[in-house]
């Protein structure tokens, strides 16, 4: 027995020792296999390319429509959506939409800063290629700053990857400094960027994209001279032109067409977006109708005589509001009787008995309109899996920016009218009569209207009404929808049960998010907040 005990003790100790040594010499030094250590990266040219690729994911996409829903042209359909409070004017610095846009922009800024701080660690055989990658990153960073400046005004200008303590010391740079930075970055970057890319690289930032963004930024900044010059760089390059069809511009067939300067690229299944599900009418497999067009936008579309619907000579008939209108109306918005991707027809009247009837459910449109841009029949089969590219900057905007800048400079010439008229009738399907007036005030009104209708739901309107300072006039009050003849042949205009406020003393800029100010006491707040 004694012997057995000794054996046994030996055995058990051996057993324990075995478990100790063989399994787990490095018990506490586990290394993850699902991520890449920083220490092995930034060695090869390929690393730099992979890193610049990832920067594109920070571009905006479907969310650009949400900005239109904060203006007069669209409405957030569900009253309990966080951003409905912004539309109503009953929001404050704690609103999560305000925070999320801020956070998203600075996430993009960080990514580009990190890239730019590390890219030079790799030596390239072809230095031009490294410079191109860096220029792509700088343009993508400028893209984020244009948004930040437009939404919040003065913001911290961060150009290096910063630590938490550094972030807690940041102060807001005057917005003019931000615009200066953007202007310089875009001009410099344009030098290093190619005019076009091979098919497999379509979607990368081009020289034209840098100038186009520069035109947008300068216009937003009120720097009309620079805006006109930058736009002119794009126009002169001859690389870009309008796509032949406005109706098809947002379809799969038109992807990567010559009108697109910047887009966020998607591929079904691989890198999809959910635009169909987000904005499609409710009847389309429970489309969310998250944002819906308003009467305010509908009324901005001219008649095909080129006149405002309020003009007695316009030929507008209230009882048949969809007839004789600017074609862009029906190409941008689902109107009663339109064919739907499902094969059915769009019937939004409250009494239509279809899923799209106003009041059928809180998800169905409340105005009787739905957004048609980007709704492609191809996406109906799988509504949350859309591969359509979302256009972030296109040639028509550059033309209108050029025109607006020149009008504001009061340098109205043939080129200005040509730019406007190209947008109005330079395609095969939109044929609005040409503008001939050279009156500055008249042209200003025309170009503003043109931007509203041409670029509806493309994320531009919010920035435009802020810089034009017209929000205080067009936003307050109710939201209205379709006008239709009821059973008594009375004309009824749908009124949505909201009452919007706009305080011109503070609503022209969003507040700096409260959470951000809690973490950094050096951040001041915008006026009125």
Partner 1 sequence: MKANLPYSKAFYPLFVILLSVITTWAHAQNIRITGVITDVSDQSFIPGANILIKGTQQGTTTDINGNFELSAPSNATLVVSAIGFVSQEVSVSNQSVLSIALAADTKLLEEVVVVGYGTQKKASLTNAVSQISGEDITRRPVSNIQQSFQGQMPGVTVTDLGGSPGKSNATIRVRGITTFNINSSNTSGYDLSKNDALVIVDGIEQQLSDINPDDIENVSILKDAASTAIYGSRATNGVVLITTKRAKESKVQVNYHGYYAIQKSNNVPQMMGLEAYMRHQVAAYTNAGLPVPARFSEESIQTYITTTDREKYPLPNTWFDILLRAAPQQNHSLSIAGGNDVLKTRLSVRYQDQEGVIRNFGNKIGEIRLSSDYQVSKKVKISADVNYRHNDTHSPTTNANQPLNNFFHGTLWAVPKYADGTYGLSTQGNNPLMFIEIGGQSRQRTDYLSGYVKADYEIIEGLTFSTQIAGRALFTQQKNYTNSYTNIDKNTNIVKTIANNSLTEVRDNLREYTLNNLLSYEKSIRKHNLKALVGYSQIGNTQTFLQAYRERFYNNQISSIGQGANDGTKNNNGNDAEYGLRSFFGRINYDYDGKYLFEANARYDGSSKFTGTKQYSVFPSFSAGWRISQEDFWSSLANTVNDLKVRGSWGITGNQSVGLYSYYSALTASGYTFGGTAVQGYRQSTLANTDLGWESTTQLDIGLDAAFLNRQLNLTVDYYKKITNDILLNLDIPATVGLIASPQNAGSVKNEGWELSANYRGKANNSSFRYNLGANLSYNDNEVIDLKGTGPYITGSDIDPRYIIKKGLPINTLWGYKTDGLFQTEEEITAYKATYAANTKPGDVKHIDLNGDGKIDANDMTQIGNSFPKYTFGINSDFSYKNFELNILFQGAAKVDARLAGALSEMGNQEGFTHEIFTNNYWTPENTAARFPRPVKFDLRNVTSSDRMVVDGSYLRLKNVQLAYSLPNAVIEKVKLNKVRVYFSATNLFTISKLNEWNLDPEAPSGRAVYFPQTALYTLGLNLQF
370-371 vs 74-76, strand pairing mode: unpaired
Residues 33 to 52 in contact with partner 1, rule: CB under 8 A: 33-39, 41, 47, 50-51
Of positions 71, 73, 108, 340, contacts partner 1 by CB under 8 A: 108
Residues 457 to 486 in contact with partner 1, rule: CB under 8 A: none
The SS3 of residue 496 is: strand
Alpha carbon distances (Å) from 510 to 147, 169, 220: 12, 21, 16
Alpha carbon distances (Å) from 245 to 224, 239, 251: 30, 18, 10
Site for partner 1 contains 506 (CB under 8 A): no
Site for partner 1 contains 343 (CB under 8 A): no
Site for partner 1 contains 359 (CB under 8 A): yes
Q: How far apart are CA 413 and CA 454, in angstroms?
A: 22
Describe the crossing of helices 207-221 and 175-192 by its angle, rounded to 10 degrees. Answer: 160
At residue 234, what are phi and psi to the nearest 5 degrees?
-70, -45
- Provide the 10 A C-beta neighbour count for residue 226: 19
Residues 263 to 302 in contact with partner 1, rule: CB under 8 A: 265-271, 285-286
The span of 12-20, 321-329, 395-403, 451-459 binding partner 1 (CB under 8 A) equals 12-20
Site string for partner 1, 171-200 (x = CB under 8 A): --------------------------x-xx
Site for partner 1 contains 499 (CB under 8 A): yes
Residues 362 to 421 in contact with partner 1, rule: CB under 8 A: 362-364, 381-382
For residue 495, what is the enclosing H or E element? strand 491-500
Site for partner 1 contains 22 (CB under 8 A): no
Pick the closer one to partner 1 by CB: 441 or 497: 497
The span of 11-19, 219-227, 320-328, 433-441 binding partner 1 (CB under 8 A) equals 11-19
Distance in Å, CB of 143 to partner 1, minimum: 14
Q: How far apart are CA 398 and CA 439, in angstroms?
A: 21
Which residues have C-beta within 8 Å of that of residue 362, sequence separation ≥ 6?
77, 78, 79
Residues 81 to 100 in contact with partner 1, rule: CB under 8 A: 82, 90, 92, 94, 99
Site for partner 1 contains 515 (CB under 8 A): yes
Distance in Å, CB of 24 to partner 1, minimum: 5
The span of 26-34, 233-241, 305-313, 463-471 binding partner 1 (CB under 8 A) equals 26-34
Pick the closer one to partner 1 by CB: 125 or 198: 198
Pick the closer one to partner 1 by CB: 102 or 316: 102
Pick the closer one to partner 1 by CB: 16 or 433: 16
Q: How far apart are CA 437 and CA 434, in angstroms?
A: 9
Site for partner 1 contains 503 (CB under 8 A): no
Print burial letters for 120-136: b (CB count within 10 Å at least 16), e (below 16): eebebeeeeebbbbbbb
The SS3 of residue 399 is: helix
């Amino acid at each position: 027995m004694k012997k057995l005990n000794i054996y046994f003790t030996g055995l058990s100790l051996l057993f324990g020792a075995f478990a100790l040594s063989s399994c787990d010499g490095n018990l506490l030094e586990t290394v993850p296999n699902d991520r890449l250590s920083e220490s092995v990266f930034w060695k090869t040219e390929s690393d730099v390319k992979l890193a610049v690729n990832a920067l594109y994911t920070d571009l905006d996409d479907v969310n650009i429509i949400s900005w239109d829903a904060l203006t007069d042209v669209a409405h957030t359909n569900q009253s309990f959506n966080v951003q409905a409070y912004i539309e109503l004017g009953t929001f404050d610095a704690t609103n999560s939409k305000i925070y999320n846009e801020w956070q998203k922009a600075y996430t993009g800024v960080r990514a580009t800063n990190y890239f730019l701080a590390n890219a030079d660690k790799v030596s390239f055989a072809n230095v031009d290629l490294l410079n191109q990658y860096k220029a792509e990153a700088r343009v993508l960073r400028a893209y984020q700053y244009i948004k930040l400046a437009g939404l919040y005004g003065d913001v911290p200008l961060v150009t290096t990857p910063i630590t938490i303590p550094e972030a807690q010391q940041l102060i807001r740079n005057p917005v003019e400094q931000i615009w200066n930075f953007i202007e310089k970055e875009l001009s410099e970057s344009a030098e290093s960027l190619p005019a076009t890319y091979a098919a497999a690289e379509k979607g990368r930032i081009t020289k034209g994209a840098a100038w186009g963004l520069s035109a947008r930024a300068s216009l937003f900044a009120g720097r009309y001279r620079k805006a006109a010059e930058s736009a002119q760089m794009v126009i002169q390059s001859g690389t870009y032109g309008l796509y032949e069809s406005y109706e098809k511009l947002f379809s799969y067939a038109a992807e990567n067409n010559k009108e697109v300067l910047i887009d966020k690229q998607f591929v079904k299944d691989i890198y999809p977006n959910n635009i169909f599900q987000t904005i499609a009418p409710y009847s389309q497999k429970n489309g969310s109708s998250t944002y819906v067009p308003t009467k305010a936008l509908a009324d901005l579309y001219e008649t095909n005589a080129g006149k405002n619907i309020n003009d007695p000579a316009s030929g507008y008939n209230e009882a048949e509001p969809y007839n004789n209108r600017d074609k862009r109306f029906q190409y941008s918005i689902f109107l009663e009787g339109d064919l739907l991707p499902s094969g059915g027809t769009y019937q939004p009247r409250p009494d239509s008995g279809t899923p799209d009837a106003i009041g059928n459910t809180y998800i169905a449109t409340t105005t009787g309109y739905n957004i048609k841009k980007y709704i492609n029949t191809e996406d109906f089969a799988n509504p949350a899996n859309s591969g359509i590219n979302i256009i972030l900057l296109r040639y028509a905007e550059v033309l209108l920016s050029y025109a607006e800048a020149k009008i504001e400079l009061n340098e109205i010439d043939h080129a200005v009218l040509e730019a406007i008229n190209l947008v109005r009738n330079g395609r095969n399907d939109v044929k609005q009569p040409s503008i001939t007036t050279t009156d500055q005030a008249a042209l200003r009104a025309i170009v503003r209207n043109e931007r509203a209708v041409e670029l509806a739901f493309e994320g531009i309107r919010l920035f435009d009404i802020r810089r034009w300072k017209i929000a205080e006039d067009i936003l307050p009050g109710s939201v209205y929808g379709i006008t239709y003849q009821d059973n008594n042949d009375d004309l009824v205009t749908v009124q949505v049960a909201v009452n919007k406020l706009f305080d011109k003393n503070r609503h022209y800029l969003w507040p700096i998010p409260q959470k951000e100010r809690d973490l950094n006491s050096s951040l001041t707040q915008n006026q009125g907040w």
